[in-house]
C-alpha cells in the first residue's frame, strides 16, 4: 500500500515548485511543466521516491539505525 496518495500530494500543493526565475538546473528532470511563472513538479516521480525513502527509513530503523529529519521551514518545527 502506498505511503501517500496522489490526491494527498495534490491537496497539499506538493506539485508547486519554485518560480521559474529561481531554479536549480539539477531539478530539471523532475519538472513536469511551467504554469504562470511556477514550475510544476512531476508527482508520479514524487510518489515513487517517497515510497523508496519510506522503505529505506523502515529498513534502517528495523536494523537499529537512527534517522535525523531536518526541516528548514517554520511549518516543519511542529512536525
Is 28 domain-assigned?
A: yes
Q: Is residue 45 part of a domain?
A: yes
Asked, for residue 1, whether it belongs to a domain, the answer is: no
pLDDT band at 61 (very low <50, low <70, confident <90, very high): very high
Higher pLDDT, 78 or 41: 41
State which residues form the domain around 45.
6-78
What predicted TM-score, i.e. pTM, was given to this entire model?
0.77
Question: Of 3, 2, 6, 4, whose CA–CA distance to 44 is shortest?
Answer: 6
Structurally, the chain folds into a number of domains equal to 1
pLDDT interval class at 17 (50, 70, 90): confident
Q: pLDDT tens across 42-57, in order?
A: 999 999 999 999 999 9
We report the CATH number of the domain holding residue 63 as 3.40.50.10490
Banded pLDDT at 66 (limits 50, 70, 90): very high
How many CB atoms lie under 10 A from the CB of residue 56? 12
Amino acid at each position: 500500500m502506498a505511503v501517500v496518495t496522489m490526491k494527498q500530494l495534490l491537496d497539499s500543493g506538493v506539485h508547486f515548485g519554485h518560480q521559474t526565475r529561481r531554479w536549480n538546473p539539477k531539478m530539471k528532470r523532475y519538472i513536469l511543466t511551467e504554469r504562470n511563472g511556477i514550475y510544476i513538479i512531476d508527482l508520479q516521480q514524487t510518489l515513487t521516491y517517497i515510497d523508496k525513502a519510506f522503505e529505506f527509513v523502515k529498513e534502517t530503523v528495523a536494523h537499529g539505525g537512527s534517522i535525523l529529519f531536518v526541516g528548514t521551514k517554520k511549518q516543519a518545527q511542529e512536525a
